[in-house]
Amino acid sequence: VYIVERKFVRREYYFAILQDRKTQGGVDIESVAAENPEAILTLGIDIDDGLKKDDALSLAEKLGFSPQIREEAADMMQKLYKLFIDKDCTQVEINPMAESVEHEALSCYSNNIVTYVNYFCNLVLCMDAKLNFDENSEFRQKDIFALRDTTQEDSREVAAAKYNLNYIGLEGQIGCLVNGAGLAMSTMDIIKLHGGEPANFLDVGGGATAEQVTEAFKIISSDPQVTAILVNIFGGIMRCDIIARGIIQATSQLSLSIPVIVRLQDSAKKLIAESGLRIISADDLDEAASKSVQLSKIIQLAREANI
């Protein structure tokens, strides 16, 4: 239960600082942008100059803050921009930034008489906030990242990050292990073209070790929905024999019961063949994707039949 002081809001505003033009706020602000785009004010900020006081005051006026608190609103905006820069944020979203009416009572004592005076004042409040941080800044924002609650995240994504693997879990059945984000996207597309559904996006990067490949297999195979694993490696940015050794090591350690289809050539393909393991090779991506989808469907049928 989260209990907060009640505030009496006079006006509400949406305020955000972003690195790009995409609206990343809630549904309300997106619908406003779509239905009434003139209601959205944007201000480009030179990162070298920062948010200047005159620009902040002008923005406060255009948003409709009362004249008596525009200075306070502008000061709040400048502080939020400083937070954005100092903490390596990719987004600072205040929804709402509110103009609140606060009631106070003062007591005055004079000549044995107590006089109570009621007065009202306007305040600028950040009533809700959403902050995103650049993950590449973890080395210098240790205090921020120490607050990270990994229990709220996909455990596979957390495990992948420890080994510098880029992993995103999806809803499909065919696990993917690829080097390069572009090739990973293409691999997922061709799986769908053949009637399958990718279970993940996993980019091992251009300098993966055998250990990283093994960990990648552990992460992929930990997904109970996975019924086949497709490995698609382009040898121009890394040695395929390292990938092959990682595949052999992972397959041996994990005793995988699902088919592994690899697209490798030359010495890497020879290593796979000589391993004696039940790893299926393919010479091109189309063949590899087709085999992955076919074998995945067979495994799914076997599971449904409890075989």
- Catalytic residue numbers? 14, 93
Give the Å distances, CA to CA, from 150 to 44, 64, 114, 145, 218: 34, 40, 56, 10, 19
Give the Å distances, CA to CA, from 175 to 49, 72, 223, 241, 259: 47, 53, 9, 21, 10
The angle at the Cα of 101, spanning 100 to 104, to the nearest 5 degrees, equals: 130
Residue type at position 107: S
- Asked if 168 and 201 count as a contact pair (C-beta separation under 8 A), the reply is yes
Q: 121 in helix, strand or coil?
A: strand
State the DSSP code for 180. Answer: S
Q: What is the 3-state secondary structure (H, E, C) of 35-104?
A: HCHHHCCCCCCCCCCCCCHHHHHHHHHHHCCCHHHHHHHHHHHHHHHHHHHHCCEEEEEEEEEEEEEEEE
Strand partners, 133: 89
Strand partners, 203: 166, 178
The angle at the Cα of 260, spanning 257 to 264, to the nearest 5 degrees, equals: 155
Helix (H) or strand (E) holding 17: strand 9-18
- Asked if 282 and 291 count as a contact pair (C-beta separation under 8 A), the reply is yes
